[in-house]
A and B are shown apart, each in its own frame.
Chain A
Amino acid sequence: MARLLNLLQSRTDHRKEGLPLYGMQGDSGDSNGQMSFRVFDSGHKITSTPWGGTGHSTTHHRFGICGDAMHSYTNNDFGDNTTHSDLTTQGSGSWQNWLKSIYQCDQYPWAQYYTLSRNGDYTMQSYHNLSEGMEFTVGWTKINHVLPEGIRPRRLFCNRRQTLRELNPGNNASGQVGYYNYTSHMLNVTNDYAVSTGYNESTKTLVMVHSSGEGSEAAKTIHIFKSSKNLNAVSTIKEFFDNLTATEYFTDSWTTGNNKDWVTVVGNNGYVGFGTKYGNSKRYGVFNCNTGSALGITGAARQFGTWQDFQGSTTTSYHSDQGNQYYTKFNHTWDGTWGMIYSPYYYYGVGLNAFCINLQNPRKFINVSQTKSSRGNPYLAWGRTGFHGGWSDNCDGDTFRTYAFSFDPNDSDHTVTTKVLYGTTDGDSLVGTTNDTNIGSASSITQGAVVTNGTGVFSPPASRTYLHGGQNSTNYPMMFQVNWWGSFGAGEQSYNGVRD
């Protein structure tokens, strides 16, 4: 019956999307020659409409009738290429160098610099005042959501000081939809700067971290608010707080580089993962935030294990101390079973420095490391239980690749190792000539890794997509986040079959 109810509930949730799509733009040379733009599904099959996709040769006027809603003359905008530039040492004003960076995307369906429909119609944000955009300045205040299968955040809640605000979704500075000062519901107001907030929709639990400042202050107060109302379904934020069924808090001292980097991931089992950029590295800790068990008001009484430092390779990389836009990101798989707290490996937006976390049980987590130092791309949800992205090298006479990897959606036991499956450049080894065995026999998984929870590191190889870059035409493809992946159902190309 429970399974049937789940099925009925998921089928009637209008937010549920089909499997992830991504956009890809490839342009050659100085971008004034040829470029193309299309939308693909997780199997790298094209899904955009012929009218939505963009083909450009020498027509200028920003791709003719399919033009971006932007005021410019050619693809060679503002004296530089739109998608051709690598991010190396440029500041935030060099927006065209940031397009491929890891900073562009997270679990929200838009990006720092553009939006893109599933039909392939996209718009870049205005380059004027870009550094005052919502994502750029206060993207770090967005709530980190743990949501049911196929659902991405469709309402935008931002938490700062002791006020939760609702904004129109997207990277804009339009008026607020609503706000609520929740101070009266707090049990401890010693620390009054909200620095990270997570929400779990299935348990209707909101967890907030307050500190004594938005810099490197260590003092923390963590509040746990459980409500009978779903925050994503209320008319006003006040409704959520008017219907609280439990409120608890604990205090602790958490060392960090900058408080804006904290990410809060509220697991289905009441354990909550807190992650942050920490110097060139990253740090993750898990606390028991279940209510009603007299767990106490100190972090020590609630922490599972100890803080875990990132175990992959690190090099010089930025965090929120160098600029708000560098804030640590959170994303999750399509089915909502695994999440990723991440930031780039290298300086300005390339490579991957991540903890991947089971969202049923945040005590189960591994390190994911990808050490690229040029030509990056954002990481996006991929397939049912995976992520991909990160690769934008020259596709002149080569196929486009991604770093794709996926998890077992049913593996939430933190006492056993974690299995990660990944792609390759050769189909013959993907479907190998030897039999794979299961967890516990690490070396026998031909295209997978068995990783120790907490300390184990996995590094994804590049996978060939067999999307081609043509011949004798230099191009560095850029991956785009898609606003809406389409309704989930059998009429959808990326439906991927029936499951219950």
Chain B
Amino acid sequence: MAIKYFNTFDGSILTDKTAAGEEAVRSGRAIAINCPDNIESWRLKANLSTSEVIVYGGTGKTEAQALQQKADEGAAVAAVNKEKADLKMALTEKQEEERKALQATFNNLE
């Protein structure tokens, strides 16, 4: 375990250097949390309510496994976004068809 320092505004990691971290703590910009060893810093985030560390993927995952999880989550988000966009596109096309039908009706009336 080792002390690391996290930003008070969003819990993101600031540093693992004592002098820089303690200066930030003194000015209210950071909090110090004891963190597990051998975890890449990008996976660490502070729960500012409990002052505990959150490890992305959990402490049991290796770096490679955590990266895979990140890639999978990214792909899932992309898939949802695409589905959402396709729905919007379908809606737009349907609206366009309805507009054309109305226009045709209007033209016939004339």
* Interface of A toward B, CB cutoff 8 Å: 28-34, 57-58, 84-86, 88-89, 311-316, 345-346, 367, 369-374, 424, 442-443, 449-452, 455-457, 459, 461-462, 473-474
**Do B41 and A456 have beta carbons less than 8 Å apart?**
no
**Interface digits, B75-94 against A, CB 8 Å rule (1 contact, 0 not)?**
00010111011101100110
CB distance from A72 to the nearest CB of B (A): 18
Across the A-B interface, how many residue pairs have beta carbons closer than 8 Å? 112
**Do B88 and A449 have beta carbons less than 8 Å apart?**
no
**Do A449 and B29 have beta carbons less than 8 Å apart?**
yes
**Do B86 and A30 have beta carbons less than 8 Å apart?**
yes
Say yes or no: A457-B81 contact (C-beta < 8 A), given A88-B70, A312-B15, A371-B13. Answer: no
B74 at the interface (CB under 8 A from A): yes
Q: Which of B19, B74, B88 contacts A29 (CB 8 A)?
A: B88
**Interface digits, B51-89 against A, CB 8 Å rule (1 contact, 0 not)?**
000000000000100010011001000101110111011
C-alpha spacing A141/B20, complex, angstroms: 33
C-alpha spacing A473/B87, complex, angstroms: 11
CB distance from A277 to the nearest CB of B (A): 17
**Do B14 and A28 have beta carbons less than 8 Å apart?**
no
Say yes or no: A311-B20 contact (C-beta < 8 A), given A28-B88, A29-B86. Answer: yes
**Do B23 and A32 have beta carbons less than 8 Å apart?**
no
**Do B14 and A457 have beta carbons less than 8 Å apart?**
yes
Q: Which of B9, B70, B71, B89 contacts A461 (CB 8 A)?
A: B9
C-alpha spacing A421/B33, complex, angstroms: 26
Given contacts A34-B88, A450-B27, A457-B24, 12 further A-B contacts (CB under 8 A): A29-B89, A312-B20, A313-B16, A345-B42, A371-B41, A371-B42, A449-B27, A455-B23, A457-B14, A461-B7, A473-B88, A474-B85
C-alpha spacing A86/B77, complex, angstroms: 11
Q: Which of B12, B19, B21, B88 contacts A371 (CB 8 A)?
A: B12
**Do A474 and B84 have beta carbons less than 8 Å apart?**
yes
Q: Which residue in chain B gives the minimum CB-CB distance to A462?
A: B10
**Do B85 and A57 have beta carbons less than 8 Å apart?**
no
**Residues on B with beta carbons closer than 8 Å to the beta carbon of A313:** 4, 13-16, 41
Q: Which of B21, B40, B85 contacts A30 (CB 8 A)?
A: B85
**Do A443 and B88 have beta carbons less than 8 Å apart?**
no
Say yes or no: A456-B20 contact (C-beta < 8 A), given A369-B14, A442-B27. Answer: yes
**Do B84 and A86 have beta carbons less than 8 Å apart?**
no
**Residues on B with beta carbons closer than 8 Å to the beta carbon of A442:** 26-27
Q: Which residue in chain B gives the minimum CB-CB distance to A444?
A: B27
CB distance from B20 to the nearest CB of A (A): 4
